[in-house]
């Protein structure tokens, strides 16, 4: 049973929330929608769920016109980024709610709810009030509520974004386990996120969305290795990929007075206005490197993000240890230039170290 969308558009005001979005989701697969905030992820999920009606385009599920089916008759489950539960019901009643909407035997409901509670690790909490739970537990309740339905389509809208760092790691791990257990072979799982790392970890088919438009579709690895445009490269990397305006001639890349030998996959490019893309992790501190000035140093978790500047070029370097820098300190860095990407002036990928296009 496939979920097929054709040219979905939604434009409530003068900006597109969805712009000619098409996809073909197959049962038993995990799809990740990657995009920055306001890129249309939630709109897309709401459209699939039936909470929004697109201005144009169509959705078909199992060969039937999905747009003609009211929300409550679509077999869809959804977990939101806010922890949405029923405040007037306790944990058990919350999870049983979708089952109670169908005519199901109470004993079957009990069994299913207990199963769901077990799979999200909340056994023993069934009589608690929702308000007595922590954020992470509330989100688990809404996850359990979406699992218990055995919905054919399971939508997860940035389910981890409002949780603190540690819980996010933990729940992400649990999600992965749940998903890999094969929820059911016929479920279509759609997961939206702004976090490229989450996308890579979930390792499903990725749809990169920006300003309501689908920019690239492909397996997570492919998106990471061969982003088809500058935009995708920015969205699929955190911190975003560094973009350096450089010249390539005579096998040399030059910018801001720096001159490095071009790796093989970039050596054939000679056109004007080329942009070199380099991940923040592909730049390292090196005594013999090129001198940059520190604009900002932020420590996140166990890594340090250095915002550096030289002339008009600004780059971000991530270092896998905690280091203290002062603003305006001078640091020396080296580029792993063989990992560099090149983009045409219009933003399209020109060459990638992983063999995209003419590499």
Q: Which is nearer to other proteins, 82 or 180 (CB)?
A: 82
From 19-27, 45-53, 177-185, 290-298, give the range in contact with other proteins by CB under 8 A: 45-53
Number of residues that bind other proteins (CB under 8 A): 27
Query: In angstroms, rounded to a whole number, what is the distance separating the alpha carbons of residues 257 and 271?
Result: 19
Least distance from other proteins to the Cβ atom of residue 35, Å: 21
Tokens of 315: 């780059």
φ/ψ (deg, to 5) at 86: -95, 115
Cβ(161)–Cβ(84) under 8 Å? Answer: no
Which of 38, 51, 123, 296 is in the footprint of other proteins by CB under 8 A? 51
Query: In angstroms, rounded to a whole number, what is the distance separating the alpha carbons of residues 177 and 187?
Result: 15
Cβ(205)–Cβ(23) under 8 Å? Answer: no
Query: In angstroms, rounded to a whole number, what is the distance separating the alpha carbons of residues 91 and 80?
Result: 17
Q: Which is nearer to other proteins, 79 or 317 (CB)?
A: 79
The residues facing 211 across adjacent strands are none
Binding mask 71-110 for other proteins (x = CB under 8 A): xxx-xxxx-x-x-xxxxxx-------xx-xxx--------
Q: Which is nearer to other proteins, 103 or 326 (CB)?
A: 103
Q: Does 3 bind other proteins (CB under 8 A)?
A: no
Q: Does 226 bind other proteins (CB under 8 A)?
A: no
Binding mask 10-39 for other proteins (x = CB under 8 A): ------------------------------
Q: Which is nearer to other proteins, 22 or 82 (CB)?
A: 82
Least distance from other proteins to the Cβ atom of residue 156, Å: 12
Query: In angstroms, rounded to a whole number, what is the distance separating the alpha carbons of residues 350 and 356?
Result: 8
Q: Does 162 bind other proteins (CB under 8 A)?
A: no
Contacts (Cβ under 8 Å, ≥6 apart) of 192 = 32, 33, 34, 35, 41, 42, 44, 45, 155, 156, 157, 158
Least distance from other proteins to the Cβ atom of residue 76, Å: 6
Least distance from other proteins to the Cβ atom of residue 49, Å: 6
Query: In angstroms, rounded to a whole number, what is the distance separating the alpha carbons of residues 180 and 115?
Result: 17
Least distance from other proteins to the Cβ atom of residue 102, Å: 7
Least distance from other proteins to the Cβ atom of residue 272, Å: 51
Strand order in the sheet with 341-343: 242-245, 275-278, 341-343, 349-351
Query: In angstroms, rounded to a whole number, what is the distance separating the alpha carbons of residues 359 and 357?
Result: 6
Least distance from other proteins to the Cβ atom of residue 70, Å: 8
Q: Which is nearer to other proteins, 145 or 307 (CB)?
A: 145
Which of 41, 112, 149, 231 is in the footprint of other proteins by CB under 8 A? 149
φ/ψ (deg, to 5) at 3: -110, 110
Query: In angstroms, rounded to a whole number, what is the distance separating the alpha carbons of residues 151 and 31?
Result: 16
Least distance from other proteins to the Cβ atom of residue 72, Å: 5
Cβ(67)–Cβ(52) under 8 Å? Answer: no
Binding mask 243-282 for other proteins (x = CB under 8 A): ----------------------------------------
**Which residues are near other proteins by CB under 8 A?**
49-51, 70-73, 75-78, 80, 82, 84-89, 97-98, 100-102, 142, 145, 149
């Amino acid at each position: 049973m496939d979920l097929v969308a054709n040219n979905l558009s939604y434009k409530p005001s003068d900006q597109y929330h969805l712009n000619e979005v098409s996809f073909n989701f197959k049962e038993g697969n995990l799809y990740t929608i990657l995009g920055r905030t306001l890129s249309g992820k939630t709109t897309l999920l709401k459209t699939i769920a039936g909470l929004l009606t697109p201005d144009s385009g169509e959705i078909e599920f199992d060969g039937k016109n999905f747009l003609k089916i009211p929300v409550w008759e679509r077999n869809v489950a959804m977990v939101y980024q806010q922890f949405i539960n029923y405040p007037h019901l306790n944990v058990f009643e919350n999870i049983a709610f979708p089952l109670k909407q169908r005519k199901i035997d109470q004993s079957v409901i009990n069994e299913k709810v207990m199963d769901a509670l077990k799979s999200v690790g909340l056994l023993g909490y069934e009589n608690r009030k929702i308000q007595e739970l922590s954020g992470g537990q509330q989100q688990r309740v809404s996850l359990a509520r979406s699992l218990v339905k055995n919905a054919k389509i399971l939508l997860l809208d940035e389910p981890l974004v409002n949780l603190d760092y540690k819980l996010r790691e933990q729940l992400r791990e649990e999600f992965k386990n749940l998903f890999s257990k094969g929820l059911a072979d016929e479920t279509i799982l759609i997961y939206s996120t702004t976090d490229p790392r989450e996308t890579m970890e979930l390792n499903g088919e990725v749809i990169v969305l920006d300003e309501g438009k689908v920019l690239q579709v492909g397996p997570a690895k492919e998106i990471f290795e061969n982003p088809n445009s500058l935009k995708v490269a920015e969205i699929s990397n955190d911190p975003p990929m560094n973009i350096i305006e450089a010249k390539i001639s005579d096998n040399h890349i030059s910018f801001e007075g720096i001159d490095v030998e071009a790796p093989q996959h970039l050596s054939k490019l000679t056109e004007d206005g080329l942009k070199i893309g380099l991940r923040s992790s592909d730049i390292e501190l090196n005594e013999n490197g090129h001198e940059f000035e520190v604009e900002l140093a932020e420590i996140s978790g166990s890594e340090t993000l250095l915002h550096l500047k030289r002339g008009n070029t600004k780059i971000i370097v991530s270092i896998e240890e905690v280091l203290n820098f002062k603003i305006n300190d001078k640091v020396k860095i080296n580029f792993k230039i063989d990992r560099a990407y090149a983009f045409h002036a219009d933003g399209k990928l020109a060459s990638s170290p992983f063999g995209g296009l003419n590499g």
